Structure 1
Amino acid sequence: MQVTGITSDLGYLRTAIVNLFFFGTPGAGDRNWVLVDAGMPGYGGAIRREAARRFGEDARPLAIILTHGHFDHVGALGTLADRWRVPIYAHQLELPYLTGQAAYPPPDPTVGGGMAASSVLFPRGPFDFRPLVRMLPEDGTVPGMDGWRWIHTPGHTPGHVSLFRETDRTLIAGDAFVTTRQESLLAALTQRPEMHGPPAYFTPDWPAARESVEGLAELEPEIAATGHGRPMRGYAMREALKLLARDFDRLAVPPGGRYLKRPPAGPQDLSSPPAGIRRPAAAAIGLALAVVTGALVLRGRR
């Protein structure tokens, strides 16, 4: 596994089923680059090796920026934080989930697909990265990423953010939308390209998710790099994103599910599982996912 270039100063690394991003000029050296998201558990060593290969031996980032705090985006964060001791930035509304105060809402395994069925086994916190985690600047700037701004894109999580650079219209969307059908285990592993809404099994606020996609489509990005799937670019990508925004309810919102009527209002809504979930089936799919992911982790460590 190695970093794949997107622009001259932006590359992505796939960790099993999710992408993270390296921002900075190759060879920039210590504290002259930024990590966006932290991938799956077990990939801390691989991330450090790729950082050393790209920026120089023992090169630490200036900061780590989180699009959000789901387990597949912070999986290696504890290991990296212990080694690098650099600030971790997230939106204010995401901080309770990153400072041990709250767990994310339960996933919705009823939305269809192998990944969705296994989502009941995914950790949802609370995660605690104190004392390094802090709030993104209120003025929209991104620490260590000159020329970029963060955009609040809630729906997938309350404090989800996307990052945008106007000069070349490069968008790091996070999971506000993705470029593969993440609910499908096969698509998640093969990254079969498809403009798609946020992963449905972990999206509790569909009205907010719709507004976020509409806002990102209005940016008319030239490049869209997402948390799941390969980067897309150009006219065809923009048209697909506009279609997703225009027809979001049909293309992204599942026909049924626990969060269709209303998003969770708070922790008091987060405890009851949906009816009709067959946990043995979910466990079997989850075990299969764990085996495949484990193989990918081992391959990534080589």
Structure 2
Amino acid sequence: MNLDVRRNQITKDIYGYRTVIANIVLVGGCGAEGRDWVLIDAGVPFSGSYIKHFTEQVLGSGKKPIAIVLTHAHFDHVGGLSYLLNEWQIPVYIHEQEQEHVTGIKDYPPPHPFIEKGLMAFLSPLYPRKAINIHSYIRLLSTDGSISEMPGWKWIHTPGHTEGHISLFREKDHVVIAGDALITVKQESALAVVTQKKEIHAPPAYFTQDWDQSFDSIKKIQNLDPSLIYTGHGKPMEGIELKKGMDLLIRRFERDMVGNEKYVH
């Protein structure tokens, strides 16, 4: 499998890759000398070998990232971890409120398949939610917002979709890697997922745990004044399209979700 990696390039040193329904991100400019790379999230189950191949297309054969950072630990963001860690033996950073889901202690709660209509939402009771166990690789994110392997980046706590969900922010160019704090495709709809129709949405409704927190997290991201956002589902969005989309999402959230009983769990 040969990839035209230029089609996956988001910025000079950021590459994105879609694993069926969820994105992973490869971030350069990392490490003490700025010559290394970090992987953000690890895709759907059985995607590990494809992710490894993608990273080697970008980095060169036999090369690997120096760390993995997880925005959260849902099945479509940790599916390739077992394979990748067996190959790479590198640390995995995660928020302390997510660690029980990656150390075999706590499963995620059941989904809510009928909050938003769509085939992907309807099928959500079939999606894996059992805790995985990679405890020997886990490192908790520093409380000061820094990640030692990613100079220039800060992690931002953006709960709601999950308790320990994080996003990543680079001050110099206001790029945000948002995970599922918000997304740029209607993930509940199979048609939208297949076509990748670009449109800002709240996080996947069927797995979102706290809508008030989610709303606060979206406003937190908006207050960062992002120039470009790459999310866990969908395509990158930037510029005026992003600004208008964020404004529309906030208005839609206020109208449809806040105070609506069906979003209270």
Pairwise same-fold verdict (TM > 0.5): yes
Correspondence 1:176-187 to 2 at 5 A: 176-187=181-192
Aligned residues: 256
Equivalent pairs: percent with the same residue?
45
Q: Deviations over 1:40-69 (max 9, x none)?
A: 112111111111111121112110000000
**What secondary structure sits across from 2:212 in the alignment?**
helix
Greater RCO structure (CA 8 Å; 6+ sep)? 1
Out of 256, 260, 264, the position equivalent to 1:261 is 264
Within the candidate set 14, 25, 43, 1:10 is matched to: 14
> Would you say 1:125 and 2:130 are equivalent positions?
yes
After superposition, the C-alpha distances for 1:240-282 in whole angstroms (9 at most, x for unaligned) are 112312441435679664xx333xxxxxxxxxxxxxxxxxxxx
Q: Trace 1:84-95 onto structure 2 (pairs within 5 A).
A: 84-95=88-99
Question: 2:248, 2:118 → 1: CA distance?
Answer: 23
Give distance in 2, aligned partners of 1:237 and 1:252: 21
Output the CA distance in 1 between the equivalents of 2:261 and 2:191.
Answer: 22
Q: Displacement of 1:187 after TM fit? A: 0.7
Residue 172 (1) aligns with residue 177 (2): yes
CA distance in 2, matches of 1:73, 1:2: 23
Q: Which residue of 160, 166, 170 maps to 1:155? A: 160
User: Is the 1:180–1:191 Cα contact (8 Å) retained in structure 2?
Assistant: yes
- Alignment-derived partner of residue 64 in structure 1: 68
Structure 2 unaligned spans of 5+ = none
- Distance verdict in 2 for CA 1:103–1:90, change over 3 Å: same
CA distance in 2, matches of 1:24, 1:42: 25
Q: Which has the larger radius of gyration?
A: 1
Once the two structures are superposed, residues 112-136 of structure 1 have per-residue CA deviations (whole angstroms, 9 ceiling, x without a partner) of: 1100000000000111111101201
> What residue identity is the alignment partner of 2:208?
T
Query: Partners in 2 of 1:254 and 1:20 — Cα distance?
Result: 33
CA distance in structure 2 between the aligned counterparts of 1:140 and 1:166, rounded to whole angstroms: 12
1:183-225 Cα deviation digits (max 9, x unpaired): 0011112211111000000101001001000111111101010
Q: 2:212 aligns with which of 182, 207, 231?
A: 207
Which deviates more from structure 2 when the two are superposed, residues 39-48 or residues 166-175? 39-48
> Normalising to structure 2: TM-score of the pair?
0.92
Is residue 153 of structure 2 the alignment partner of residue 113 of structure 1? no
The answer to whether the 8 Å contact 2:177/2:230 transfers is yes
TM-score normalised by the chain length of structure 1: 0.81
Q: Aligned to 1:40, which of 37, 44, 62?
A: 44
CA change 1:132–1:168 in 2 (3 A) is same
Mean Cα deviation higher: 11-20 or 31-40: 31-40
Inter-partner Cα distance in structure 1 for 2:89 and 2:4: 24
> Counterparts in 2 of 1:247-258, with a 5 A limit?
247-250=252-255, 257=262
Aligned mate of 2:243, from 219, 238, 242: 238
1:80 is aligned to 84
SS at the partner of 1:11? strand
Task: State whether residues 200 and 253 of structure 1, in contact with CA within 8 Å, keep that contact through their aligned partners in structure 2.
Answer: no
Amino acid corresponding to residue 216 of structure 1 in structure 2: I
Residue 142 of structure 1: how far off its partner (Å): 2.1
What amino acid is aligned across from residue 158 of structure 1 in structure 2? E
Asked if the contact 1:224–1:231 (Cα under 8 Å) also holds between the matched residues in 2, the reply is yes
Structure 2 distance, partners of 1:133, 1:195, is: 32
